[in-house]
Chain A
Amino acid sequence: MFNYYLKIAWISILRHWGLSLLMVSAIGLGIGAAMTTITVNYLMSADPIPHKSKQLYYVQLDSWDVNDPFDEGLNPPDQLTYIDTTNLMNAQKAFRQNAQAQASGVIEPNDPELLPMTVSGRANSADFFIMFDVPFIYGSGWTHEADVNKEQVIVLNKETNDKLFGGENSVGQTIKLDGNFFKIVGVIDKWQPKPRFYDITTGAFNNSEDIFVPFSMIAEQKISRSGNNSCWKPFGDGFAAYLASECIWTQFWVELKTEQDKQDYQTFLNAYVEEQKAYGRFLRPMDNRLSNVMEWLENQEVVADDAKMMMAMSLMFLIVCLLNTVGLLLAKFLGKAPEIGLRQALGASRVTLFSQYIIESACIGIAGGILGLGLAFLGLMGVESLYGEYMQGLATLDGTMMILALIIALVSSILSGIYPTWRACNIQPAQQLKSQ
């Protein structure tokens, strides 16, 4: 029976091919636009480290000016002072902890043929690599001892290793960075979390770094820090004064296994701030926060306003397309009134007619969905080329999205088909037959 209905639907679609084409393209365009924007939003808000995003916490302490709150008092500062990061790091109260800041430098390759190159860097703790699941090709991250002893060790990313060593295992070799020699301990594989959750402050969709060195290298002035820096309190001259200042430019992540651990850590943070108050710091009301990865992404509004706005627009666009389809289906089915009347007179039940026309709507919907997928694919390519780097990797359709597109198309076309079908089934056969 189902096959027979399909066949009838096909005939009907072909007979009114112009109208069918109009409906398919309307649904296609609607689905295409909606899927393009939904995909961008979906990828922007994706969980970059699903299996442990609930165990990684970003630490915020309100060390800001008592007279002029950070972010109008809605949120504590988004970074920490060097003093606090160092103190929290030394306390070692979490299962794992990572102090970090963005850095940059110049590598002078050992090979005289190669020109010096600037690299983007990160100064971080040993736990960084384990906490954030960084994949290694050669070697590994450095040890906790290296952190403590301020060893000049370095981890390269694949690209930098390719450039400097032609992709060979460079572990154990030494490179010159900003005039200082660093020993290579590991080379990481291609690694680009989207969003780059571990440092939202310098850009949620920036590339991951070329090199990684111990956090202590900044204080040792072996590498220079970069990234965002905000200050509220004047401080004296020199680097030591800067390190001791209330400027925020460092970040601190902890890994906590259970809810109990989290509460314990929160208690520890509160006690720490209480203790610091004795030194005349932290004059603002206590506001210490632990945000897990998804909470932190949400708090930092990683999904761009533009993306959200476009999604709202494109969903409305889809509604217009569906209204269009409802109107056209209504016209089409009512145009078949004489045929319906005749069939009813010959004994077709309403259930039969209903399922038949719903199947016709669904066929149009599926065709529209497939067209929509194609358009979404083109749309995403367009988005990527228009926005450039910023959207790289955020504009790809995955399996989930494709299935979602087809489901939306099918459901919405069936929904649009219901009213016209219902109207068609309520046609009085007698009236139709009379007029023939």
Chain B
Amino acid sequence: MLEIGLIFRALMRNKMGALLIAFQIALTMAIMVNAIFMIQDRQQQMKRPSGIDENNTFYLTNTVFAQDHNFQAELQTDLNTIRKTPGIVDAIQINAIPLSGGGWSMSLQLEPGEDKDAIGSALYMVDEHGINTMGLTLIAGENFSQEDIQWRGEGQSKWPPKTIITKAFASQLFPDDWQSAIGKTFYISQSQPMQIIGIVEALQAPWNGWDGVERSMLVPFQMESSSSYYLIRTEAGKRDQMMPIIEKELAERNKGRIIRRVTTIEDTRKRSYRQHNATNKILTTVVTTLTLITSFGIVGLAIFSINRRTKQIGTRRALGANRWQIMRYFMVENFIISAVGVIIGSLAAVGLNMWLVSTFNLTPISFKLVLFGVVTLFLVGQLAVLYPARKAALIPPATATRTI
């Protein structure tokens, strides 16, 4: 196409206007690509399953203030009452809730003693109902038996001899074969042995921003603690109906404690990812507005350049150019400007990403996304110039013969 050379030379006569648009396209692309990248990253994090039956599970805090409280007896009665209530699948006492942001982690090591490599894991204290209540999938080994469950006094430092861990944790401990973890022993508090008796598919730690979020372990403990959670799983669809019933039941059974913060896992997930959600919404708004501004800029400048060239266009029409040729001129012109823009934009996008990676610990951007940015901005440019180009095509040839 000979036209390209011609249009390019015409553009060079008014470099500045074209360059401004090219820069605008470049910056828009850099921001757009990186923003979309961050949005996707967050969406992926939010999609990770917690491992538990989120839709049918809720929990509450049981805070005891009475001085003469018999922890062991009261806990058993509480749990039995809840478990027997129609509509309830199962219930446990637990020390922390996945996704909630508060919990307990311990370092585990494959060899006993100080100065040994250790790996951190979230720790959930549950009884033999733990797997059923949370809705976990046991993929290897076995569950705790009733005899495995021990009482844990406040401030106790002794740990039980058995544990169940997640597949992700097993894979990290035994990278060659996660299944080989069954029956193996690791050490808690540097020297106390714990045998891995089971592996569950997935169970997230309470901290969604932690890089070890998939590493969790179940410990067969019931706590003699003045404050703990009861995690309760209901039959499908009965959660909202059961929440007030259980709350009332517990509160009335014993007045020496407070039942509070009856919360669904669904709400906990929402709260947990609230910042992610908010940031994503803001980024989406930024990208959309930015694209609009850039396209309006293109429209505005195209209209002006067409107005200035009315006579010239009229002359071309009079000399035999058809409407499509006039339109094509402006579309090709926009294509050239966009090309310069996306070339700079690709570089800028990668540069901005490098800065984000070094400043905020993000991961590097994928090539596909840059390509997506290139295609999108070409499309935006062409769409934006469509209206002014059509307007130009409608200029009658007679204009050429008039003086202003």
* Cβ contacts under 8 Å, B27 to chain A: 316, 319-320, 323
| CB <8 Å contact, A386 and B300 | no
| CB <8 Å contact, B304 and A388 | no
* Cβ contacts under 8 Å, B23 to chain A: 323
| CB <8 Å contact, B190 and A234 | yes
| CB <8 Å contact, A320 and B190 | no
| CB <8 Å contact, B293 and A320 | yes
Contact of B65 among A116, A330, A331, A390 (CB under 8 A): A116
Interface string of B21-45 (1 = CB under 8 A from A): 1011001101100110010000000
| CB <8 Å contact, B17 and A331 | yes
* Cβ contacts under 8 Å, A67 to chain B: 114-115
User: Given that A26-B296, A387-B274, A387-B275 are known contacts, is A335 also in contact with B286, CB under 8 Å in the complex?
Assistant: no
* Cβ contacts under 8 Å, B66 to chain A: 179
User: Given that A118-B260, A320-B27, A327-B24 are known contacts, is A106 also in contact with B63, CB under 8 Å in the complex?
Assistant: yes
Contact of B30 among A178, A236, A237, A316 (CB under 8 A): A316
Q: Which of A106, A319, A332 has the most CB of B within 10 A?
A: A106
Within the complex, the shortest CB–CB distance from B277 to chain A, in Å, comes to 7
| CB <8 Å contact, B28 and A320 | yes
A78-B281 Cα distance, complex, nearest whole Å: 34
| CB <8 Å contact, B155 and A241 | yes
| CB <8 Å contact, B157 and A237 | yes
* Cβ contacts under 8 Å, A22 to chain B: 296-297, 300
Contact of A310 among B30, B279, B304, B359 (CB under 8 A): B279
| CB <8 Å contact, A321 and B293 | yes
Within the complex, the shortest CB–CB distance from B98 to chain A, in Å, comes to 19
Q: How many of B's residues come within 8 Å of A, CB to CB?
A: 59
| CB <8 Å contact, B24 and A313 | no
A242-B289 Cα distance, complex, nearest whole Å: 56
Contact of B278 among A108, A383, A423 (CB under 8 A): A383
Within the complex, the shortest CB–CB distance from B12 to chain A, in Å, comes to 16
* Cβ contacts under 8 Å, B278 to chain A: 383, 386-387
Determine if B95 is an interface residue (Cβ-Cβ < 8 Å): no
A78-B24 Cα distance, complex, nearest whole Å: 45
* Cβ contacts under 8 Å, B30 to chain A: 316
Determine if A98 is an interface residue (Cβ-Cβ < 8 Å): no
Which chain B residues numbered 324 to 367 have a C-beta less than 8 Å away from chain A?
A: 352, 356, 359-360
Determine if A399 is an interface residue (Cβ-Cβ < 8 Å): no
Given contacts A239-B154, A386-B282, 19 further A-B contacts (CB under 8 A): A26-B296, A106-B258, A116-B258, A234-B189, A236-B157, A237-B155, A308-B359, A313-B283, A317-B31, A320-B28, A324-B296, A324-B297, A327-B21, A327-B24, A330-B16, A331-B17, A335-B307, A386-B277, A386-B278
Task: Please give the residue numbers on chain A whose beta carbons come within 8 Å of chain B beta carbons, in ascending order.
Answer: 19, 22, 26, 29, 33, 67-68, 105-106, 108, 115-118, 178-179, 224, 234-239, 241-242, 305-306, 308-310, 313-314, 316-317, 319-321, 323-324, 326-328, 330-332, 334-335, 382-383, 386-388, 390, 419, 423, 436
